[in-house]
């Protein structure tokens, strides 16, 4: 009975991260179309960039976009915080570790990759079905952020191979729960502002603290995870929101040139 209740609460916690942003989107209207008369409203389903046909290309662009100079500042700040955190890893672990704490266990279950993945998938599917452009864009970016962050987090874990403070395995750095939570929080904040960002980041921070409480990660692990997640989330929104590029290469144009004494065709080439 207690296990069933815990799982129910865990799934609910996974959805809280997006609850501040979801209601207007499920109404199926964006702020502009909602104020227009029903007879004249012409809802736009998406922005022409976040489409299913462009999903693989956008996913690749977001993956590569993490290395943009736009991310140097958060990388330096997060890297410095991770370095400082490493100094206090053992002290914090000794002071805060409480593996049997009920809240820590609930947050761990609610922010588990499988639970978050299921929640993001549901949001993504509903986003494809509604006419609210902002909600469609956010759920599209949530899916990209979740996938890209999972890739980078897994890669770093396998490369670093740091032992967890409880000795469970060698996949401590960075914290996947923290990176996932902050990646999704960053996307929600970028699309819906700080009204969604404040509760989303607060919940992400609670998830990070729960990893320390459960003795699954060191302080530097969760700081690195938060930094990675934030960078991935902001990158996905920035890259997917860029205007579509004009076709590259030579462009040809042909037009007639008619005068009193001649007839000709003018061929133009632009690069």
pLDDT digits (tens, 9 = 90+) for 37-66: 433 444 556 678 999 999 999 999 999 999
Q: What's the pLDDT at 135?
A: 95
The model's pTM is 0.76
Banded pLDDT at 5 (limits 50, 70, 90): very low
Q: Count of residues for the chain?
A: 271
Kindly report which listed range (36-50, 170-184, 232-246) carries the lowest average pLDDT score. Answer: 36-50
Picking from 125-139, 177-191, 239-253, which range would have the lowest pLDDT averaged per residue? 239-253
What gap in Å lies between CA 187 and CA 194, rounded to an integer? 11
Contacts 24+ apart (CB under 8 A), 121-129: 123/18, 123/22, 126/26, 127/25, 128/52
Tokens of 48: 């022409």
pLDDT, average across residues 215-227: 97
For tokens 């599917």, the residue is 125
Tokens of 13: 């916690």
User: Average pLDDT of 5-21?
Assistant: 44
Task: Tell me which residue has tokens 């989107």.
Answer: 25
Give the confidence band of 115 by pLDDT, cuts at 50, 70, 90: very high
Task: Please tell me the predicted confidence (pLDDT) of residue 227.
Answer: 98
For residue 102, the model assigns a pLDDT of 80
Report phi then psi at 173, rounded to 5. Answer: -110, 125
| Cα 110 from Cα 9, distance rounded (Å) | 7
DSSP SS3 for 49: coil
For the chain, percent of residues with pLDDT exceeding 90:
64
How does residue 104 score in pLDDT terms, banded at 50, 70 and 90?
Answer: confident
| Beta-strand pair 263-270/251-258 | antiparallel
Q: What pLDDT score was predicted for residue 210? A: 94
| pLDDT at position 230 over 60 | yes
204, pLDDT greater than 80: yes
């Amino acid at each position: 009975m207690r296990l069933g209740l815990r799982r129910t609460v865990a799934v609910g916690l996974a959805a809280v991260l997006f609850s501040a942003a979801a209601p207007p989107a499920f109404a199926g209207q964006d702020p502009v179309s909602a104020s227009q008369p029903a007879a004249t409203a012409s809802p736009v389903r998406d922005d022409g960039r976040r489409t299913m046909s462009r999903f693989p290309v956008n996913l690749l662009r977001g993956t590569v976009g993490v290395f943009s100079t736009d991310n140097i500042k958060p990388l330096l700040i997060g890297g410095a915080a991770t370095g400082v955190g490493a100094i206090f890893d053992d002290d914090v672990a000794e002071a805060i570790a409480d593996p049997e704490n009920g809240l820590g266990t609930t947050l761990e279950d609610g922010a588990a990759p499988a639970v978050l993945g299921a929640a993001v998938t549901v949001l993504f599917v509903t986003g494809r079905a509604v006419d609210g452009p902002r909600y469609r864009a956010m759920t599209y970016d949530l899916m990209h952020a979740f996938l890209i962050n999972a890739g980078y987090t897994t890669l770093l874990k396998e490369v670093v191979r740091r032992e967890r403070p409880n000795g469970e395995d060698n996949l401590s750095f960075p914290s996947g729960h923290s990176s996932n939570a902050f990646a999704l929080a960053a996307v929600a904040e970028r699309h819906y502002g700080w009204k969604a960002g404040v509760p989303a980041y607060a919940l992400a921070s609670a998830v990070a603290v729960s990893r320390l409480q459960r003795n699954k990660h060191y302080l530097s692990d969760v700081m690195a995870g938060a930094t990675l997640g934030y960078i991935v989330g902001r990158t996905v929104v920035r890259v997917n929101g860029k205007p579509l590029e004009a076709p590259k290469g030579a462009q040809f144009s042909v037009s007639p040139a008619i005068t009193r004494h001649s007839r000709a065709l003018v061929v133009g080439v632009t690069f």
